[in-house]
A and B are shown apart, each in its own frame.
Chain A
Amino acid sequence: MSGQEFDNKIIQWVDERLPIFSILKHSAVDYPTPKNLNYWWNFGSLAGFMLVVMVATGIFLAMGYAANTLVAFGAVEHIMRDVNYGWLLRYLHMNGASFFFICVYIHIFRGLYYGSYKAPRELLWALGLLIYLVMMGTAFMGYVLPWGQMSFWGATVITNLFSAVPVVGDYIVTLLWGGFSVDNPTLNRFFALHYLLPFVIFALVFLHVVALHTSKSNNPLGIDVKGPQDTIPFHPYYTIKDLFGIGVLLLFYLGVVFFAPNFFGEPDNYVPANPLVTPPHIVPEWYFLPFYAILRAIPDKLGGVVAMFGAIIILFFLPWIDSSKVRSAKFRPIFKQIFWIFLAVCLVLGYCGSQPPEGEIVIVGRIATAAYFLFFPLLWVLGKVEKPRPLPHSIAAPVLKGASAGHAAQPMEKA
């Protein structure tokens, strides 16, 4: 990694002693990237961008915030009304969480569609899921900080999930609360952890990228890179493409921040927390809804909690559940359809999670939950019976054949 030559004397001097410039050049400039990546490959760097935005706005919010049940609600209103640009910081942070999740969800489904979880990228996939889990914890605790009704009751319901653990459940919940209900000690520790976890995410993202640069990017064809003719350097080709992506993301993100800042929010969270009154309809933030629907689909406390966590844990095993060696859905006609059904099932679950658990919503939720879990054994069977379409020889091959067959392809394929 070291041993690069730099024209600038100072850079060269530093690099010989601390190879940060070599590392940067190796992983962000020269990094050989498949030349056929489409726009779905933008969402990883977009998620990274959102992480930076969250930390930047969060640190300045923390300067106006106070984690005490007596003043927390007022402190957030103080940020909104009195702190210079406080409204902007908060709306960026609040909606930033939603856009962060949008990017990560698209990123995950991209991985599913193109089989990016398969060998040799199993650990890359697992690290991504870990990031997702820590993100959920961070967002959950952040949502408690404004100490509104949804903050309080969301915290109550979610921490109570752990009371389903046999024998030690109640001890765990007391430990989480630091008391006999969600109260000041709970708010305090949630703030401490909400500040800490994003930095844990940074560390995980670092490992995620190391794993990526070891096994290299997958691509829409899902076949391995055969040589330099299949790749282009990351800079300037993908730096500029990622930058363009950020521009488009900002259009949507800032559009919501400026024109509909409470679009993703719940009005009830502008009512201060009241431990004696549960709002008639409590819902989590939208990004938790599918899991909330799974929780409610099972008419048994422990069963519901197990199913909910299981829905995420099972994703870690996906590389071994999917028995097909072909990565990209482009060449798997049946998998492609099942993928879209699975995506639809997740959206239906999300809708069910947002509705009161009555009437046919309960039935639909149960069917969708069953369908969610059915996806995995189905994948295993599918890999055994599905006839994949023929794979191209290399990333460069189909492009070159398409242009003018024979001539151009030959010298390239030799390289």
Chain B
Amino acid sequence: MADTSTPTQGTPPEGESRRDFLLYAAGAVGVAGTALAVWPLIHSMNPAADTLALSTTEVDLSAVAEGQAITVTWRGKPVFIRHRTAAEIESARKVDLAELRDPQADDKRVQKPEWLILVGVCTHLGCIPMGQKASDPRGEYGGWFCPCHGSAYDTSGRIRKGPAPLNLAVPTYTFLTDTSVRIG
């Protein structure tokens, strides 16, 4: 900046700072303009309109007996629906909230206590926890066990052990009748 101002001999200090101001202003406009121009490029990577168009999934629950679980797909992700036994509900309610990593009471996580509906994606790094099939390991807390890095969830889908920070998410859903539910 000193360079550009030296040829004009005797320029008062005010003149120098005016030139500096012009340079900074032009620089700022250039940076802001480039940022604005880059945004469409970045935003093009976000979900497209057709991906966003919220899909809903309707599920008939009449065939799911107590103690059984089914997995349905919603927005490309598995949703776990478990028909809980009385013992499972009981053990989910008994838990002292103070000992939970992500404290949440069981009745805040269900609309009907016997139907536990969860997004079946481990909140650690996104694997699908095991525990849906009768032969699957369910972990120490009787809910789900994630084989990837060993997270264990309880019968309310709350995180109890392992690296995952949060409970399994509860999707928005509506019971259409006693035995059918719409997810999304």
Q: Spell out A's residues near B (CB within 8 Å).
A: 153, 156-161, 163, 174-181, 183, 185, 189, 275-278, 280-282, 296, 298-302, 304, 356-358
Residue B127 interfacial (CB < 8 Å) = yes
Check if B128 sits within 8 Å of A157, measured CB to CB: no
Check if B47 sits within 8 Å of A282, measured CB to CB: no
- In the bound complex, how far is the Cα of B124 from the Cα of A296, in angstroms? 11
Cross-interface CB contact of B164 among A157, A178, A180, A301, cutoff 8 Å: A301
Cross-interface CB contact of A278 among B46, B75, B147, B165, cutoff 8 Å: B147
Query: Which residues of chain A are within 8 angstroms of B163 by Cβ–Cβ distance?
Result: 296, 298-301, 304
Closest to B161 in A: A299
Known: A180-B75, A181-B75. A278 touches B128 (CB 8 A): yes
CB-defined A-B contacts under 8 Å, sample of 15: A156-B126, A157-B127, A158-B125, A174-B47, A175-B42, A177-B47, A178-B47, A181-B75, A181-B121, A275-B77, A276-B128, A277-B128, A278-B128, A278-B147, A302-B165
B43 to chain A minimum Cβ distance, whole angstroms, is 9
Check if A160 sits within 8 Å of B125, measured CB to CB: yes
A162 to chain B minimum Cβ distance, whole angstroms, is 10
Check if B162 sits within 8 Å of A185, measured CB to CB: no
Check if A276 sits within 8 Å of B78, measured CB to CB: yes
Check if A174 sits within 8 Å of B46, measured CB to CB: yes
**Count of inter-chain pairs, beta carbons less than 8 A:** 87
- In the bound complex, how far is the Cα of B146 from the Cα of A281, in angstroms? 10
Known: A181-B77, A296-B149. A175 touches B45 (CB 8 A): yes
Residue B48 interfacial (CB < 8 Å) = yes
Against A, the Cβ 8 Å flags (1 = close, 0 = not) of B61-100 are 0000000000101011110000000000000000000000
- In the bound complex, how far is the Cα of B45 from the Cα of A358, in angstroms? 38
Closest to B55 in A: A180
Closest to A275 in B: B76
Q: Interface majority SS on B: helix, strand, loop or mixed?
A: loop
Residue B150 interfacial (CB < 8 Å) = yes
Residue B31 interfacial (CB < 8 Å) = no
- In the bound complex, how far is the Cα of B107 from the Cα of A194, in angstroms? 47
Cross-interface CB contact of A178 among B46, B75, B128, cutoff 8 Å: B46
Query: Which residues of chain A are within 8 angstroms of B121 by Cβ–Cβ distance?
Result: 181
Check if B76 sits within 8 Å of A278, measured CB to CB: no
Q: How large is the interface on B (under 10, 10 to 19, 20 to 34, 35 or more residues)?
A: 20 to 34
Cross-interface CB contact of B148 among A157, A176, A177, cutoff 8 Å: A157
Known pairs A161-B125, A301-B124 / 9 extra A-B pairs, C-beta < 8 Å? A156-B127, A163-B125, A179-B47, A181-B126, A275-B78, A278-B127, A278-B147, A282-B147, A301-B163
Query: Which residues of chain A are within 8 angstroms of B45 by Cβ–Cβ distance?
Result: 175-176, 178, 189
Instruction: Across the A-B interface, give the 3 residue pairs with the lowest CB-CB distance, nearest first.
Output: A160-B125, A160-B126, A157-B125
Residue B8 interfacial (CB < 8 Å) = no
Residue B9 interfacial (CB < 8 Å) = no
Query: Which residues of chain B are within 8 angstroms of A301 by Cβ–Cβ distance?
Result: 124-125, 163-165
- In the bound complex, how far is the Cα of B150 from the Cα of A358, in angstroms? 8
B40 to chain A minimum Cβ distance, whole angstroms, is 13
A192 to chain B minimum Cβ distance, whole angstroms, is 10
Query: Which residues of chain B are within 8 angstroms of A304 by Cβ–Cβ distance?
Result: 163
Closest to A153 in B: B127
A86 to chain B minimum Cβ distance, whole angstroms, is 31
Check if B76 sits within 8 Å of A179, measured CB to CB: yes
Known: A157-B148, A301-B164. A183 touches B76 (CB 8 A): yes
Residue B51 interfacial (CB < 8 Å) = yes
- In the bound complex, how far is the Cα of B149 from the Cα of A296, in angstroms? 7
- In the bound complex, how far is the Cα of B66 from the Cα of A189, in angstroms? 44
Closest to A302 in B: B165
- In the bound complex, how far is the Cα of B126 from the Cα of A176, in angstroms? 14
Query: Which residues of chain B are within 8 angstroms of A163 by Cβ–Cβ distance?
Result: 125-126
Check if B47 sits within 8 Å of A185, measured CB to CB: yes
Query: Which residues of chain B are within 8 angstroms of A356 by Cβ–Cβ distance?
Result: 147
Query: Which residues of chain B are within 8 angstroms of A299 by Cβ–Cβ distance?
Result: 162-163
Cross-interface CB contact of A276 among B51, B73, B124, B146, cutoff 8 Å: B73
- In the bound complex, how far is the Cα of B119 from the Cα of A276, in angstroms? 12
Closest to B71 in A: A276
Closest to B121 in A: A181
